[in-house]
Chain A
């Protein structure tokens, strides 16, 4: 049996080569082989997944196609989803995850929800029980299409092999076009086995779906006029700039107009940290100046961002004095949270390019001075003690500072969720775009370790450093197995404060220090890493830190570094939840 199948594989790949020139030519193959062929047609080189009963026919094909497409066995389906996200976030390509029916499929859901809220292009393929068993509560049957509906951009169940090419072509098109997002395709086992006449045609459009609205020149001119006449304009950009690959356009806009530009967490790295017009991060733990001055600017220019509550704080006191201009690809974002005076819909690569021509050159020196003055206050009250602490305990900030020095700001930083994430986003230096990979909207603990795997595999030439808390690390710690088996040279830094630090911080500030279930008794992380044959080191003293970080970055293979940091440090500045951005606290 096996021999025969291998033979037919050879035959099929031969015809595939010729197929590229004659796209309309069909050949008779099974549904499961068609799935692999569709993935190859869409340029998928790596996918992440976990086998099981209802997806086994596809894995059998993966075995035959292993020279053409690399399947990475994660240790949990959630790891597969996050790895696919990391792959997508660093490369801009569609990430692919695969799982079996039932628990395999439901384990993907957290990653799918994360990708939905962070607009990450993902195609998830799940096996399903044979179509005659649908609705019968069969073994490992779950209504994954129903379950995933609210957290997918699109989803679909395939019960006939002949539908596979059209549906997968549509899946990739929807995932990557417009505002990207996750798509789930559920394929019944009988459809995987069925033979049909295969041919592949990429999807180029769907009549009910407009990926990017056309840029309206009138509103663009109104926006330009507002910016040109503004005395205190402020740009806040988000991930839309990165997804739209409009980094150069944004840079040109801010350099010509002289408008100070701040970023949301997911917008980080679109413009280098060191750029003089980059005034830092907005939001709950963002920088003092851009938060404070949001409520003093006269024109607020939002670009590819969605006014998340962690960015705006109390909406009733958010930028009320300002005219608001909103550039976005998604019409549903306009006026969703903040009332906009001028909306410029469309792909921001196009709209920013057009805006540039309408803008007057300016420098806004006095206005910039206000940012510098507030930065000085933040530096004295927060940043200095974070980066150059005089106390005995190590701070998370100084670890980031060492990583910046050793990587020269060229690394992709993959952070998890919590205090270390805020510190990483505040202090990591970015020279290159697509370098800040973190779970922003959903706040998924456990994201970083698998996402770092995906990121490193997508861009092996880049240094990828995962920064994780001791809590989130243990949520997907099993993925060390994937790192070991796949030999992924990812660098893992666990900032261990033996607490669920962010929750503890809130307990300290808002719950009278009642530390309910936030203290962690942790295992020996170094021993665990060594158990997976990963080089590992623990740092407890400041004088060991620089050398340890240097050794980690110099390593050619995966490396685990645990830094035991001060247990009860807090992240500041902070806008308490529900407070106004101008009520940002420095302590």
Chain B
């Protein structure tokens, strides 16, 4: 947001290209680096820079893949705070706690600052020239088939550059890995609706029936969905939306539901078919499919009382359109695809497809579209490594040694590659096992273009630009590194691009007309693009959603019993820490878990009934053992969980990463069995069965919890009214 009109040509100067970098770095003789920037010479400052007043620059949040647009408040050469950009259709000026903490990645004291080469057990500082030479040397004698590149989700021009780099030596082994991606749901959506990620109109639904989709917490695009949710609660035509959440462990979304229904883990699909049966409106194939799923059977298998199934069906009939969501709790099984398909079928039966499930806008540049990460990619890489197929391995934006399920033995297989290059922000578990560590710029120092996986209203390309000068002299942007590497292979093609910024600018200008810049001169278009931070694409092509239900041959196994491992382990996704990459941000460590209010630690959620049976009290250290391994953590008695399940949050239990992460809590990834969804080959995150035992030790749980009951000193603290007793129609 550029509130003050300013000379747009100066914009480039500010960011260090085309002139001096005075405006951002303060005095010409000192720099941010040496910490003496408090004495500022503003002799050459840009005319919009006033000492003491923050200037906002637009960029894109890199904390998760949702692609929220942010504005960074920059003052005296430092970025101080991130706010949401109101012009983005995704986040409309809002941010989540995770996004707020982006500045702590940037200023983190534990960032890697120099390229490091392994010499025995230690990393020796080397120069970038040396590092590039080393890579060229290692790649000289290997074929493209012997090289593998593991990355997190990438999109935009970085993906283009990466694809071109890999193609330059004939490598087709790009493994895109995200530990917590909704990959099974994507595949099921593709079958049900014809698109992997449709647009969900929560704000247009009168009832949302969510099977474990934590859309307010950590699912797909939580800030966007939170705003839709607020509209949904205000109501369509004055009728307040009703949220029903079905899941074995209460998520943040579940805690906000009008009705939270605990279901026996893994039987979500059965319940979905039971609801279709109870609706009684389906005909043909679908009626035949659900005819055996009567209330009695469904209730027995899922543990949901028949009365609840009737109520849900009655409400769905009464209030239309509704929206049914399949989330991570439903997809994490060997029959996850079947579960998701059964749940998606409900949308067809209820006639929601085309109303609350719509085709999403697409960016008309397929080569920039996001490479969507999944866990099947990790398995493929792991199998290849185990077979000794890869000699050189690159790793970017992933920490597989931390997030791979223990059952995969990924760390052992990783060691089989001769030369491992890790592009890293921190010395995390994976970087520690590298032969070469290349330090990256923070997201607030780097350039980039991003195409979000989940598109809100229209298609958009997000721009990422530096909000301040490099904090550390020897870090580099990923784009710059890739450009340097590709110049080793194809110097002629890339020689005209001095750096990634130059490449990006040229690439954007080349498509100026298609990006809405037709008729503008290059400089105007470019500074316009940077100052907005978003390129909105008008009239982007869309693929229509299927209005007819897809295949209806579903096989849903009944829940199994296992006498040796009687409990289902639910690895919970924490709103802030996600797959663990944010564990070194102190604000997030000290931000209480939304449901248990526990800070700085892991815990085992167990239903009070089960705890009573096993004589477990809060704070008892529990050993949780699966077929793959065991962890020990404090018990927390939590009524929002199915008594046949326990839950441990993901993200903690680091052995490296940094001072705020190392040594706190346990890592449940380590005890996950390597079980996969039969259709997609995705890791079945919820299929691990465990047994628990008391260790005899006990601790005081560190948490922020208030007393039970919404009253104190017999006065109302947190009020709650029933819809019968409230008049919402006249509210502001």
Do A and B share a complex? no
